[in-house]
Amino acid sequence: MATNFTKELIVTPGKKHVKLSKWDPDDTLGCEKDHKTKASLEKCAKRLDDLQYLMYAERKHALLIVLQGLDAAGKDGTIRHVMAGVNPQGCHVVSFKQPSTEERSHDFLWRIHKAVPAIGDIGIFNRSQYEDVLIVRVHDLVPKSEWSKRYDEINDFERMLTQNHVRILKFFLHISKDEQKKRFQERIDDPDKRWKISVDDFKERQFWDDYTEAYEDTLQRCITDEAPWFVIPANKKWFRNLAVSHIITETLEGLKMKFPPPTVDVKKLKWK
């Protein structure tokens, strides 16, 4: 597949103003949902499995995948479909909910740092440190004087991780308000999905514009070459999975990993 997903969907570092309205959540970059797309996804899944095995063996890098998006954007679905083929032994998913009493007694990054993947592993954050410049801002949970400092603190934190060989990929799953409504309705209509619906999901829709503005500031202020943001058009689930799969695979291939040499002289090993 000729499409360069990494180049097309990355947020350019140093951009003065990020407007999500310039990204079409229905965009597929010219891709079609056909047998070629299916084959490309299967190839990516196999390649990702191989690359994870290589990273686990080499033990020189870790990969941290950050998934952010409004309710029903597809964070769970992305994890389920994109990472379906990897070895669970070297892949860990952490979902960040409302902070516990213990977590609130520490700085906001304390619980995040504890969950960073070890060298050789892949870590996936379903929501992340960015909740502390998103929901706390929209709902005025802490003063602006406090949350406004967190952009720089997050950048410093991510810089420290990258300097310690943790590669970071941050994905904003971009859906429209109409698509969110459609997905909520599908959950209501399907008895097997009703457990996902909460009153808060509907309450949060009234803050759509506030969240959009908060995300735009986050994408602008927390984008670096070392820890890039990608805006993934996510109205079409198949394209979301395709784009994220390719970007992860291309990133791991760029690490130029190699299997380590054996720790013993295999020629001297003898069967008894």
Supply the CATH number for residue 82's domain: 3.40.50.300
Contact between 5 and 206 under an 8 Å Cβ cutoff? The reply is no
Confidence of residue 1 (pLDDT cuts 50, 70, 90): low
Confidence of residue 75 (pLDDT cuts 50, 70, 90): very high
Is the torsion defined by CA of 65, 147, 158, 92 positive or negative?
Answer: negative
Q: For the range 35-40, what are the long-range contacts, defined as Cβ-Cβ under 8 Å and sequence gap of 24 or more? A: 36/1, 37/1, 37/238, 37/242, 40/1, 40/242, 40/246
The CA–CA distances, whole Å, from 152 to 161, 181, 222 equal: 14, 34, 8
Per residue in 237-246, pLDDT tens?
A: 999 999 999 9
Whether 120 is covered by a domain: the verdict is yes
Whether 224 is covered by a domain: the verdict is yes
How many C-beta atoms surround the C-beta of residue 173 within 10 A?
A: 25
Distance of alpha carbon 60 from alpha carbon 17, whole angstroms: 36
Whether 259 is covered by a domain: the verdict is no
Per residue in 107-146, pLDDT tens?
A: 999 999 999 999 999 999 999 999 999 999 999 999 999 9
- Nearest 5°: phi and psi at 231? -95, 115
Whether 16 is covered by a domain: the verdict is no
Whether 7 is covered by a domain: the verdict is no
Number of domains in the chain: 1
Per residue in 83-118, pLDDT tens?
A: 988 999 999 999 999 999 999 999 999 999 999 999
Which residues form the domain of 164?
A: 33-254
The pLDDT assigned to 260 comes to 95
Contact between 69 and 77 under an 8 Å Cβ cutoff? The reply is no
| Tokens (6 digits) for 230 | 């990608």
The pLDDT assigned to 58 comes to 97
**What is the percent of the chain where pLDDT is above 70?**
99
Whether 86 is covered by a domain: the verdict is yes
For the CA atoms of 156, 159, 164, 166, the dihedral, rounded to the nearest 10 degrees, stands at 120
Whether 1 is covered by a domain: the verdict is no
Mean pLDDT of the chain: 95
For the CA atoms of 169, 216, 132, 159, the dihedral, rounded to the nearest 10 degrees, stands at 40
Verdict on whether the full-model pTM lies above 0.85: yes
Q: What 3-state DSSP class applies to 70?
A: coil
Give 10's strand partners.
Answer: 230
How many C-beta atoms surround the C-beta of residue 214 within 10 A?
A: 19
The pLDDT assigned to 17 comes to 85
Per residue in 176-191, pLDDT tens?
A: 999 999 999 999 999 9
Whether 28 is covered by a domain: the verdict is no
The CA–CA distances, whole Å, from 101 to 95, 98, 111 equal: 17, 10, 12
Residue in 125, 129, 130, 120 with CA at minimum distance from that of residue 164: 120
For the CA atoms of 163, 169, 172, 173, the dihedral, rounded to the nearest 10 degrees, stands at -160
